[in-house]
Chain A
Amino acid sequence: DVKVTQSSRYLVKRTGEKVFLECVQDMDHENMFWYRQDPGLGLRLIYFSYDVKMKEKGDIPEGYSVSREKKERFSLILESASTNQTSMYLCASSLRGSGNTIYFGEGSWLTVV
């Protein structure tokens, strides 16, 4: 069965902290994604990776960076967390190419205080 695993479901961090959100997929997918979900705004793409060490900015990359050192793992980094980054973060993966089903993890709820 398809599996995208996000390491932490709930996190509370302080303003200014460096935050790592980890995601692992076991399907040998080339593409991996980080989305942010906020009420009334839907899902917005933060970053996208189509191969190891390759990344593309999404629609809201400011304040975030990513790392993909291994095919199965895609990390989202908040260099200096701020309260406006309090949100639900969703990791996803898919096979290379358009039209392929994107599989989502269960999400990480991040609260920045």
Chain B
Amino acid sequence: AQSVTQLDSQVPVFEEAPVELRCNYSSSVSVYLFWYVQYPNQGLQLLLKYLSGSTLVKGINGFEAEFNKSQTSFHLRKPSVHISDTAEYFCAVSDLSRQAGTALIFGKGTTLSVSS
């Protein structure tokens, strides 16, 4: 079965610094990959997704992610973070081998804390 590993549970950074949130998934079979963000006391919001095509995917709020099939990774990056980027970030994969293949399997989340 698919699994998703977010390598860092917490990432503290200073404002305007670059950030990378790391995500690895377990299988090399065809998958769709997603990053979601959750602000305090809210539901999840899609940042970006990879279905096919270019391995570099651009999302909202200046975030981008790169799909690396050989390393089964989908790391999220932003060149310069703002205080408002403080939130929890979830990497997710759509396991196409499952009956419930349209459901997403989520990682445990990475808390990004941006300070001034």
Q: Can you name 27 A-B residue pairings with CB atoms under 8 Å?
A: A31-B102, A31-B103, A40-B108, A42-B90, A42-B106, A42-B107, A42-B108, A42-B109, A43-B44, A43-B90, A43-B104, A43-B106, A44-B106, A45-B103, A45-B104, A48-B100, A90-B43, A96-B102, A98-B32, A98-B101, A98-B102, A99-B49, A99-B94, A104-B45, A105-B43, A106-B41, A106-B42
* Docked pose: A42 CA to B102 CA in angstroms: 18
In the complex, which range does the number of interface residues on chain B fall in?
A: 20 to 34
User: Within 8 Å of chain B (Cβ to Cβ): is A75?
Assistant: no
Q: Point out the residues of chain B lying under 8 angstroms from A50, CB to CB.
A: 100, 102
* Docked pose: A103 CA to B43 CA in angstroms: 9
Q: What would 19 more interface pairs be, CB under 8 Å, given A104-B43, A105-B43? A: A31-B102, A33-B103, A35-B106, A40-B108, A41-B108, A42-B106, A42-B107, A43-B90, A43-B106, A45-B105, A48-B103, A50-B102, A56-B100, A58-B100, A96-B102, A98-B101, A103-B46, A106-B43, A107-B43
User: Within 8 Å of chain A (Cβ to Cβ): is B27?
Assistant: no
Q: Which of A46-77 contact B (CB under 8 A)?
A: 48, 50, 56, 58
* Interface of B toward A, CB cutoff 8 Å: 6, 9, 32, 36, 41-46, 49, 51, 90, 92, 94, 96, 99-109
In the complex, which range does the number of interface residues on chain A fall in?
A: 20 to 34
Instruction: Name the residue of chain B whose CB is nearest to the CB of A57.
Output: B100
Interface on chain A toward B: helix, strand, loop, or mixed SS?
strand
* Docked pose: A69 CA to B49 CA in angstroms: 31
User: Within 8 Å of chain B (Cβ to Cβ): is A84?
Assistant: no
Q: Point out the residues of chain B lying under 8 angstroms from A42, CB to CB.
A: 6, 90, 106-109
